[in-house]
Amino acid sequence: MTRDSGEYSGESRSATTDPTARLAARAIDVVREYGSGASRVRALDGLSIDLFARRFTAIMGASGSGKSTFLHCLAGLDQATSGRILLGETDLGRLDDASLTATRRDRIGFVFQDGNLLPHLTAAENIDLGASLAGHRPDRAWRSELVERLGISDRLRHLPSQLSGGQRQRVAVARALLGRPDLIVADEPTGALDSVSSRSLLEMFRACVDDYGQTVVMVTHDPAAAAVTDEVILLKDGRAAGVFRTPTHETVLERVGELASHAEQTA
């Protein structure tokens, strides 16, 4: 990971000790601006991050640091003003609308804070939605394994309004995983859940990486959630501000506190 001069210095993201590590995605000098003139806001300010495959990465930072903007650009839901977002070798900024839609559908799985399920479809129909839109039949054995492991086998005929928050999120995870995407992105996925449901969801993300070889990138403000990941990348003012691996609840609190203290000293 590229660090900006003068920012909090964590361990270099590029200094992986695994020579076989494969890049799942990259942000290269990404700028994202909104508005114009005096009202222009620069949400991302030359952000560069390397994300390696088969890892669970948390993105943290204060409100306004660019976390969700980065995740939306990474997932192809928003377009960078300048710079490049790569998914594997695919430059998302160079894709036309049809190709970008297909890439999002086939190679990226999404889990949002509210589950983002269609209210008029059953849980089963929501899970199968991406495959249905693509005209594909889902892998039934894989689908069965997912819903069994997620504990929603008996809820497939229910509408989202008939599910608890944790059940809706597990349906969203099954939908995200069904097509075996290259990348799973999660934006504050535990934000609306109780502690038990949060722990269950995080365990499933952990299994996505450890058991299924997926790559998961999660924006969170919760130190307990970040402690489940392989590494934490800190953002500040739209830039990379540090990274540390094998986080614990205590180290997350410490590093986030150091970043906030540094920000106060340089303000």
pLDDT of residue 17: 47
In this prediction, the residues of the chain whose per-residue pLDDT falls under 70 are 1-20, 261-267
pLDDT of residue 267: 54
pLDDT of residue 8: 33
* Residues 6+ positions from 115 with CB-CB distance below 8 Å: 160, 165, 168, 169, 171, 172
How many angstroms separate the Cα of 223 from the Cα of each of 22, 254, 256? 27, 10, 9
pLDDT of residue 263: 59
pLDDT of residue 265: 56
* Structural domains for the chain: 23-121+180-266 (3.40.50.300)
Assign 189 to helix, strand or coil: coil
pLDDT of residue 84: 97
The structure tokens 């303000």 sit at 267
Q: Report how far residue 240's alpha carbon sits from residue 45's, in angstroms, rounded to the nearest whole number.
A: 9
> Torsion angle of alpha carbons 146, 149, 154, 159, nearest 10°?
-50
